[in-house]
Amino acid sequence: MSFNTLGLSEPLLRAISEEGYSQPTPIQQQAIPLILAKKDVLAGAQTGTGKTAGFTLPLLQLLSQSAPNSGKRKIRALILTPTRELAAQVGESVTTYGRYLSFKSSIIFGGVGINPQIAALRQGVDIVIATPGRLLDLAKQKALSLSDVEYLILDEADRMLDMGFIHDIKKILAMLPKKRQNLLFSATFSDEIKKLADGLLNTPTLIEVARRNTASEQVEQSVYFVDKLRKKELLSHLIKMGNWQQVLVFTRTKHGANRLCAQLEQDGISAAAIHGNKSQGARTKALADFKNGSVRILVATDIAARGIDIDLLPHVVNYELPNIPEDYVHRIGRTGRAGNEGEAISLVCIDEKAFLRDIEKLIKKEIPKIVLEAFKPDPSIKAEPIEQKGRGQQSRNKPSPNKNDPSGRGRGENRPNSRSSSTPRKEKGRA
Ligand code: AMP
């Protein structure tokens, strides 16, 4: 199938061709005609499937079909995302695909100065891409009006709910006109997502593309058994032996990310960390340095890494396994994209064996295990329970606003109402 058959206009086709896309991805094939037919859509698609173009292209086309000839620009399309990084990426896509159209878009997120955003909005924009918190702040300050929104898109809606944005989303919905087209994109369809979709979408069409864990045989997965205290050493060894030049490494905690970064630097391997305690400037710089190759290793926590789009990422390392099996799938989905092969390695100590079993159950596959002679686990070390980040324990704590979290409004990796604590276990086996 070619893009020409999907009903997109010439300026969009030109931009697509300049991006080098020869044919639409499965989610694009399904979503574009439905959106152009003005249907509400509930789409199951993960990052890496081409979902952003799947909604951005038809949105731009619909906007251009009914563009007012005169008058001040009004916000006609609102795209909500869970994180700043994703907002920035979607904003970039809007600019890229819309480069032969004359729409103005604005990206709005917390953690950076509000005044430039107010100034940009004052000039008039057609499309706003925003994280919920800062958008509400601006709406409260009357820096923007949402009363002319014709198109609402929730991107990575499951993550928005995980991060506790449901109340903000409801407040935003109350500011929108009743008559509008709604698109909801989510990697998973939990009960919460279905509830949100029921309240939001008007007789939606459901579309879904295969989850990456079932679809992607492109990612070669393996597990290295190693003692916890020797993980740093093993990681440096693997990076050096394999001469890996670009590696995304996941840790379970922000402090763990910082510590690992420092250790790698000590070993002469350039590394940067990206997590909720880093300022927006530091995160943008870390990501840019990683993308341009001046930093070899990017150490990230799950939420910070969500939505990061890096083409051709060859190696993903789980320095610690996530206690939520679905996060493993999200993590390894960072590699093996768009037809390229990738490698996902997990360093697993004795304490994490239960997590490994949960993951293998979810992906319905046994991951090959490797024990390097020089890093053989010490049999005298016994398993100790790992603090269950996000599960159980945290739900007993009170929310503690974190000014540096991805939304800039107190939502971050440690939110007690993350999916892991609010809906434990029941999502298992949902792949
Ligand atoms: P997304 O799932 O929206 O994060 O997109 C993942 C990656 O796929 C991005 O780097 C896009 O530039 C790329 N992409 C989107 N559509 C296509 C296409 N039709 N052909 C090839 N690459 C694409």
Contact 197, 204 (CB under 8 A): yes
The Cα–Cα gap between 327 and 359 comes to 9
Task: Determine whether the shortest distance from the Cβ of 156 to ligand 1 is under 6 A.
Answer: no
Task: Determine whether the shortest distance from the Cβ of 334 to ligand 1 is under 6 A.
Answer: no
pLDDT at 310 over 90: no
Arithmetic mean of pLDDT, 217-239: 91
Contact 117, 134 (CB under 8 A): yes
User: Which residues have a Cβ under 8 Å from the Cβ of 78 and sit 6 or more positions away?
Assistant: 127, 128, 130, 135, 146, 149, 151, 152, 153, 172, 176
Confidence (pLDDT) at 404: 36
Task: Determine whether the shortest distance from the Cβ of 47 to ligand 1 is under 6 A.
Answer: yes
Arithmetic mean of pLDDT, 114-136: 96
Q: How far is CA 256 from CA 300, 320, 342, 375, in A?
A: 9, 10, 25, 21
User: Which residues have a Cβ under 8 Å from the Cβ of 335 and sit 6 or more positions away?
Assistant: 219, 248, 313, 314, 315, 316, 342, 343, 344
Return the best residue to mutate from 19, 28, 89, 97 for the ligand 1 pocket (most ligand atoms within 8 A of CB): 19
Residue 413 Cα to ligand 1 midpoint, Å, equals 27
Q: Tokens at residue 263, please?
A: 């250790």
Atom 19, ligand 1: which residue's CA is nearest? 24
pLDDT tens digits for range 352-371: 999 999 999 888 889 999 99
Return the best residue to mutate from 93, 291, 309 for the ligand 1 pocket (most ligand atoms within 8 A of CB): 309
pLDDT at 420 over 60: no
pLDDT at 286 over 60: yes
Output the average pLDDT for the chain. Answer: 84
Q: pTM to 2 decimals?
A: 0.61
User: Exposed, middle or buried, 160 (CB in 10 Å: 0-12/13-18/19+)?
Assistant: buried
Task: Determine whether the shortest distance from the Cβ of 48 to ligand 1 is under 6 A.
Answer: yes
Task: Determine whether the shortest distance from the Cβ of 24 to ligand 1 is under 6 A.
Answer: yes
- pLDDT band at residue 260 using 50, 70 and 90 as cut-offs: very high
Listed residue (151, 135, 137, 240) closest to 200, CA to CA: 151
Report the share of the chain in percent with pLDDT over 90. Answer: 60
Atom 5, ligand 1: which residue's CA is nearest? 50
- pLDDT band at residue 217 using 50, 70 and 90 as cut-offs: low
Residue 431 Cα to ligand 1 midpoint, Å, equals 22
CA 220 from chain centre, in angstroms, equals 21
Residue 338 Cα to ligand 1 midpoint, Å, equals 7
User: Which residues have a Cβ under 8 Å from the Cβ of 43 and sit 6 or more positions away?
Assistant: 27, 30, 31, 51, 54, 55, 183, 184, 185, 186, 206, 207, 208
Task: Determine whether the shortest distance from the Cβ of 49 to ligand 1 is under 6 A.
Answer: yes
Q: Characterize the bridge pairing of strands 77-80 and 151-154.
A: parallel
The Cα–Cα gap between 365 and 362 comes to 8
- pLDDT band at residue 218 using 50, 70 and 90 as cut-offs: low
- pLDDT band at residue 397 using 50, 70 and 90 as cut-offs: very low
Task: Determine whether the shortest distance from the Cβ of 280 to ligand 1 is under 6 A.
Answer: no
- pLDDT band at residue 341 using 50, 70 and 90 as cut-offs: low
Confidence (pLDDT) at 222: 93
Backbone torsions φ then ψ of 56, nearest 5 degrees: -70, -45
pLDDT tens digits for range 57-92: 999 999 999 877 778 899 999 999 999 989 999 999
- pLDDT band at residue 214 using 50, 70 and 90 as cut-offs: very low
Confidence (pLDDT) at 119: 96
Arithmetic mean of pLDDT, 312-335: 84
For the CA of 48, the closest atom of ligand 1 is: 2
Task: Determine whether the shortest distance from the Cβ of 309 to ligand 1 is under 6 A.
Answer: yes
Atom 8, ligand 1: which residue's CA is nearest? 50
- pLDDT band at residue 56 using 50, 70 and 90 as cut-offs: very high
- 405 vs 382, higher pLDDT: 382
Atom 10, ligand 1: which residue's CA is nearest? 311
pLDDT tens digits for range 161-205: 988 899 999 999 999 999 999 999 998 888 889 899 999 999 999
Handedness of CA 224, 313, 158, 286 (dihedral sign): positive
Task: Determine whether the shortest distance from the Cβ of 52 to ligand 1 is under 6 A.
Answer: yes
- pLDDT band at residue 308 using 50, 70 and 90 as cut-offs: low
The residue type of 325 is P
- 375 vs 405, higher pLDDT: 375
The Cα–Cα gap between 345 and 414 comes to 25
Handedness of CA 124, 125, 129, 132 (dihedral sign): positive
Atom 23, ligand 1: which residue's CA is nearest? 50
pLDDT at 277 over 70: yes
Contact 299, 260 (CB under 8 A): yes
- pLDDT band at residue 220 using 50, 70 and 90 as cut-offs: confident
Confidence (pLDDT) at 357: 95
Beta bridge partners of 105: 127
Helices 51-65 + 26-36 axis angle, to 10: 20
User: Exposed, middle or buried, 72 (CB in 10 Å: 0-12/13-18/19+)?
Assistant: exposed
Residue 20 Cα to ligand 1 midpoint, Å, equals 10
Confidence (pLDDT) at 340: 58
Task: Determine whether the shortest distance from the Cβ of 302 to ligand 1 is under 6 A.
Answer: no
Atom 22, ligand 1: which residue's CA is nearest? 21
